[in-house]
Amino acid sequence: MPNRFFVTGTCTEVGKTVISRALLQSFIKQGKRAVGYKPIAIASHITDEGARNHDAMVLQSSSSIRVSYDEVNPVIIEDHAALTYSDSPMDYARLSRGLSHLQSQADAVIVEGTGGWRFLLNGMRPISDWVIEEKLSVIVVVGIQLGCINHAILTAEAITRDGLNIAGWVANRINPGLAYYAETIEALKQNIPAPLIGELPYISRPEERDLTRFIDLSRIKNS
């Protein structure tokens, strides 16, 4: 069984894609075949080949094995409202088939979630239900900003109650002007029951950079 990690965030826009890219790069640097998976995404633009999501394209380009866009992102939704409020149930089996297909080719699969841990799919079931079914280890991205300690603790508590392994968490400095950064990191380290496996500083265009120096895979906690 390859390494399989589900990347969730304390809320939206905390840098899940950037951290997923950093994880992929780190596994690749170790000589692993690593691939990204964005099972559900909201369309960001239209191409000649159809709807595309920017985050999924970043994962595709960051993978070490050649995969099609549809393999990386099997379910793409027109907009946020269609994803959240549709009456049609999400086909979890389709998500699982896509994951199984990728893990048959790779040593590590980085699965990027949508929104936070309890993000509702079609207003019915949270995406965490699927992660529980797949028994994925979880990596939590904490966007370092006002309120992140509360959000991180609640997220970690929910994942733990769901019976899943928190393999680690990553601090992403999305607000460079935040006071008491070091104190915030220390509070998070004391209250998240998982190792800090990386700190990403505030940098421009991180999706174009080598981010391996900010991640330490040796700290990952196995289940």
Collapsed DSSP state (helix, strand, coil) of residue 25: helix
In the block, tokens 């000589």 appear at 31
Residue 38 bears catalytic tag: yes
Tokens matching residue 62: 């960051």
Residues annotated as binding site for ATP?
A: 13-18, 55, 112-115, 172-173, 201-203, 208
Please tell me whether residue 79 adopts helix, strand or coil conformation.
coil
Write out pLDDT tens, residues 127-143. 999 999 999 999 999 99
pLDDT band for position 84 (50/70/90)? low
Q: What is the pTM of this model?
A: 0.94
For the chain, domain boundaries? 3-217
Candidates 29, 38, 135, 221; catalytic one: 38
Binding residues for Mg(2+): 17, 55, 112
Q: Which residue has the tokens 């979880």?
A: 138
pLDDT, tens only, 145-193: 999 999 999 999 999 999 999 999 999 999 988 889 999 999 999 999 9
Strand partners, 199: 171
**Residues making up the chain, counted from first to last:** 223
Identify the bridge partners of residue 7 per DSSP, sorted by sequence position: 112, 139
CATH topology of domain 3-217: Rossmann fold (3.40.50)
